Amino acid sequence: MVGTGYVGLTTGACLASLGHRVVCADVDVAKVHRLRAGHVSILEPGLSELVNEGLAAGRLEFVVGAAQAVVDAEVVFLCVPTPMGAGGAADLAAVESVIAEVRTVLPVGCVVVNKSTVPVGTAARVSALLKRKDVPVVSNPEFLREGTAVRDFLNPDRIVVGCDTQDAAERVAALYARLGAPTVLTDAASAELVKYAANCFLAMKLSYVNAIAELCERLGADVADVTEGMGYDRRIGQSFLQPGPGWGGSCLPKDTHALVQVAGAVGFDFPLLTATIDTNTRQRERVVSKIRHAAGGRLRGKRIGLLGLAFKAGTDDLRDSPALAVAELLLAEGAELTGYDPGVRGEVPGVRVVDDAYAAVKGADVVALLTEWPEFRCLDWSRVAELVDSPLVVDTRNHLDPDALQRCGLTWWGVGRGPANPLQVLAAVV
Ligand code: UDX
């Protein structure tokens, strides 16, 4: 397993728990030492336990450098970062440098697996860089969500394995046999595209819901009821229908931009996808205009208390967090920000990060909930009402109980649950 980030470490620890012998490599010497001692620095439920079980059973090892990990491997997983490079394309520098390091030491007949999300055609490119006719390259994308990565790995909706050599694809699929999941065996390009097609579809679903939420506000409809009514249609499903401040994280933003690039490279214009991205940018601006409105029309000098900074609950990950994008826009208009997130310690540019939710809302002109941590539901709202300067709470995820807040004298503004005047709406649409 080359790379011990979210994907590599979860895959390594979970494969070890399925009974395989796994050697995980990283270039970060200090991290390797920490992992050997059983210290997992990623906030991922169940991962630390699996790592320690694997170490104790002797099925999981950590080494410095890819070459040492691959020497007697039957299967080599590439799990290194593929960040967004210039112009939105995935940057494959880390993949290429691993190939350069391991190509001469790979055992005869082993299989190389691309686990990182890579552009369509990368399996072929890795094969060309390897210059090893005896080593097939397989695409085996992951579908792990941060915060539930271990559960997702052990209970997958599907396993996708793509290779132009059937035997190699079957060898990789066999590693997951104990999970009993539906398995799609296909060619490498199709497997690579599954990952992008799935993540971009999820992003599109969320942008659609956020747009419907905006429409609900204008029409006086309630997005919670609208999405519930939509979701009972089994072709749509209830999940991924929760409006919010926009989608973020380490995958959806990167993968949507990358697919625009991939499509553009073959001359395919993809307006559905660019609109998905634009709608998401607009969603962040919409959140800011709501907070501005709550602050009385101007943000300069206003104190905004931010509840949540991570891109979603259950993680400490700030990568492409909509909360930070909103914070940046608020700062640009001169607001003063204090923020609290149960998972986030340390510095966030422009935000005074405090240790509890009450410290974040103290003296606030507007409180904005940006991440759906369960503990925010259980806050003592009468205490919040005493601490704030103005009683306005903008709930960008419809996460809080409006009645509970109202009982404490707070005004709750959600998303897509607007108090539009039905008569005005009727006049506008008829
Ligand atoms: C995603 C994919 O779900 C996963 O399959 C892939 O392998 C990696 O990318 P992740 O980035 O961990 O996982 O987050 P996810 O739970 O999918 O949420 C993505 C974003 O959408 C978050 O910002 C989240 O807050 C937002 N979201 C999700 C909503 O706004 N509403 C929803 O109903 C669901």
* Nearest by Cα to 415 from 212, 243, 230, 225: 243
Ligand 1, residue 313: give the atom nearest the CA.
25
Q: How many CA within 13 A on the CB side of residue 370?
A: 37
Mean pLDDT of the chain: 94
- Fold match flag (6-186 vs 188-429): yes
Q: Which two tokens stand for residue 104?
A: 């001469």
Active centre residues (catalytic)? 251
- In this prediction, residue 187 carries a pLDDT of 96
Looking at residues 149-177, what average pLDDT do you find? Answer: 96
Residue 410 DSSP code: P
Ligand 1, residue 250: give the atom nearest the CA.
11
Q: Distance, CA 425 to ligand 1 centroid (Å)?
A: 33
Query: Rounded to 5 degrees, what are φ and ψ at 49?
Result: -60, -45
Distance in angstroms (rounded) separating the CA atoms of residues 236 and 227: 10
Identify the H or E element spanning 78.
Answer: strand 75-78
Segment 287-322, tens digit of pLDDT: 999 999 999 999 999 999 999 999 999 998 999 999
Contact indicator for 280, 246 with CB cutoff of 8 Å:
yes
* Length of the chain in terms of residues written: 430
Segment 341-351, tens digit of pLDDT: 999 988 999 99
- Position 90 confidence tier, pLDDT thresholds 50, 70, 90: confident
Residue 166 CB neighbour total at 10 angstroms:
11
Q: Distance, CA 83 to ligand 1 centroid (Å)?
A: 17
Ligand 1, residue 146: give the atom nearest the CA.
12
Q: Please check the confidence at residue 424 and state whether its pLDDT lies above 70.
A: no
Within 6 A (CB) of ligand 1 lie: 142-146, 199, 202, 206, 240-242, 244, 247-252, 311-312
Q: Which two tokens stand for residue 222?
A: 């309630």
Ligand 1, residue 210: give the atom nearest the CA.
30
Please tell me whether residue 310 adopts helix, strand or coil conformation. coil
Segment 244-273, tens digit of pLDDT: 999 999 999 999 999 999 999 999 999 999
Query: Which residues pair with residue 24 across a beta bridge?
Result: 62
Q: Distance, CA 216 to ligand 1 centroid (Å)?
A: 23
**Which homologous superfamily does the CATH classification assign to the domain defined by 188-429?**
NAD(P)-binding Rossmann-like Domain (3.40.50.720)
Query: Which residues pair with residue 409 across a beta bridge?
Result: none
- In this prediction, residue 83 carries a pLDDT of 84
In the chain, the percentage of residues whose pLDDT exceeds 90 is 89
Pocket test for ligand 1, best of 157, 256, 312 (most atoms within 8 A of CB): 312
Please tell me whether residue 417 adopts helix, strand or coil conformation. coil
- Position 274 confidence tier, pLDDT thresholds 50, 70, 90: very high
Report which protein residue has its CA nearest ligand 1's atom 27. Answer: 247
Distance in angstroms (rounded) separating the CA atoms of residues 32 and 69: 12
* Nearest by Cα to 65 from 11, 94, 126, 24: 24
Query: Rounded to 5 degrees, what are φ and ψ at 398?
Result: 50, 45
Identify the H or E element spanning 394.
Answer: strand 392-395
* Nearest by Cα to 414 from 224, 196, 142, 168: 224
Distance in angstroms (rounded) separating the CA atoms of residues 323 and 394: 13
Pocket test for ligand 1, best of 247, 257, 276 (most atoms within 8 A of CB): 247
- In this prediction, residue 226 carries a pLDDT of 97
Binding residues for NAD(+): 26, 31, 82, 117, 146, 254, 319
pLDDT top residue among 84 and 144: 144
Structural domain spans, the chain:
6-186, 188-429
Q: Distance, CA 206 to ligand 1 centroid (Å)?
A: 9
Residue 178 DSSP code: G
Strands 22-26 and 60-64: parallel
- Lowest mean per-residue pLDDT among 42-46, 81-85, 196-200, 278-282: 81-85
Q: Distance, CA 247 to ligand 1 centroid (Å)?
A: 7
Q: Which two tokens stand for residue 331?
A: 């700062």
* Nearest by Cα to 412 from 382, 392, 389, 430: 392
Beta carbons within 8 Å of 104's beta carbon, 6+ residues apart:
none
**Which homologous superfamily does the CATH classification assign to the domain defined by 6-186?**
NAD(P)-binding Rossmann-like Domain (3.40.50.720)
Strands 336-340 and 351-353: parallel
Q: Which two tokens stand for residue 296?
A: 């009385």
Binding residues: 26, 31, 82, 117, 143-146, 195, 240-244, 248, 254, 312, 319
